[in-house]
Amino acid sequence: MFKDMNIQELLTEKFLRYAAIETQSRADVQEVPSTPGQWTLARLLMKEMQELGMEDVEISEHCVVTGHLPARLPEGHAPVPAVGWMAHLDTVDVAMSPEVHPRIIKNYQGGDICQNEEKQIYITVSEHPELLEHIGEDIIVSDGTSVLGADNKAAIANMMTALEVLKAHPEIPHGTIYYAFGPDEEVGLRGAKAMNYDKFPVDFAYTIDCCALGEVVYETFNAGSVTLHIRGVTAHPMSSKNNLVNPIMAAVDFINLLDRAETPEHTENKEGYIWVTGIRSDVLNCTVSMNIRDHSREGYQHKKDLLRSALEMIKLKHPKAEMSLEITDVYGNIYDAVRDDNRQCIDAIYRALEELEIEPKTIAMRGGTDGSYISTKGILTPNYFTGAHNFHSRCEFMPMVAVEKSCLTTLKLMDLAVRNSET
């Protein structure tokens, strides 16, 4: 398929160009986008989309890039669904450098990969035996001082390469294809929430935002963010007995009411959790930040109720303190949007993988995608693999054979939208 084009080479060239743009998002900035580099990447993508034949390409006030490729069908062809793809512009902030310096390991022959000789940083086979599945392949890694940013620039390269293939092969029919690139996915799916869906009038959509070859996701967490506010009472040590209320100690008492078995480090698969992600305090005011995650709506609601009950208990223990709890829903489970009359886009992923001879690996994602929000807008948006591994870590790596197969899956889904409309 497409033997006249070197898909891996196109993907590599595009990924390296996008990775060179610093787009790490910031949770502490409320403006969308949260960092200026996301504008830089958005403008580059707008230009490239126009050059590759997309129409009505524009960037919104919140840095969401949208555009569509008009249908190219034989005269008299049956209507074809409008299909969308969305990827995010930002890379995650995990307290590492926002600058990404990729390097290509040509024809990997096994063994540990040295990311940074000067700093002696390695990806080791003992910790990542999955490396050995890619002997003989080209692999892209970071220099160990940052994430690689395959999450989600591998998806951006995928989508843009698919456009280039369609432009180079005018004989390939396709329906109307919509693209969206949004900012700040890593800090609460802000781009998907800020998007004007009049610019994305699709029957269904896809994200490409998970890891290894063959992975398919249509179940994600229900997610919420929680902030506990505690205002204590200050007093000089000379008169502090029975007067001073230490907000830090009140926060500790609250946290100790949580079940240690229901934290991220003790859960897996579809087990939900409450994660204490930060504490900020002085002698008067303390805030505790938490995340709630659960695949089931019932489990998600139970965790909300548990936190509210814990607050009432702590109020009894510290009656002089002022306390309040903010709970904000961040995204929902894609699966809750699946119905018999719309799941054809999920079925198409499995058919695409079958035709490409890729073994599917269905997983319930312990996280969320832009599709977790888009699906709540009535547009079912499942997710499939980028081909990369170890997102959100310095050990992130891209085996280019798997990344190429992800791009071929994108092209196959475009093809299936046409072929399925003929039956």
What is the three-state SS of 81-129?
Answer: CCEEEEEECCECCCCCCCCCCCEEECCCCCCCEEEECCCCEEECCCCCH
398 membership: H or E segment, kind and range: strand 397-399
What are the DSSP E strand ranges found in 268-366? 273-281, 285-294, 322-331, 361-364
Quickly state the pLDDT bin for 423 (edges 50, 70, 90): low
Report the C-alpha gap between 408 and 355 in whole angstroms: 11
Report the C-alpha gap between 85 and 155 in whole angstroms: 10
Pairing of strands 83-88, 204-210: parallel
What residues have CB less than 8 Å from 330, skipping those under 6 apart? Answer: 188, 189, 223, 224, 225, 368
Percent of the chain past pLDDT 90, that is, above it, reads 98
* Contact in structure between 148 and 19 (CB atoms under 8 Å): yes
Quickly state the pLDDT bin for 4 (edges 50, 70, 90): confident
Among 37, 137, 22, smallest CA distance to 405 is for: 137
Residue 14's pLDDT is: 98
pTM value is 0.93
Q: Is 336 tagged catalytic?
A: no
Question: What's the length of the chain?
Answer: 423
What are the DSSP E strand ranges found in 126-214? 139-141, 177-182, 204-210
Answer yes or no: is pLDDT of 129 > 80.
Answer: yes
Answer yes or no: is pLDDT of 1 > 70.
Answer: no
Q: Is 185 tagged catalytic?
A: yes
Query: Which of the following is catalytic: 143, 185, 396, 415?
Result: 185
The torsion angles phi and psi of 154, rounded to 5 degrees, stand at -65, -40
Query: Which of the following is catalytic: 90, 219, 262, 294?
Result: 90
Report the C-alpha gap between 110 and 21 in whole angstroms: 30
Mean pLDDT of all residues in 347-356: 98
Tokens read off for 51: 């050059």
Among 272, 233, 291, 229, smallest CA distance to 254 is for: 229
3-state DSSP call for residue 133?
A: helix
Answer yes or no: is pLDDT of 251 > 80.
Answer: yes
Report the C-alpha gap between 248 and 372 in whole angstroms: 35
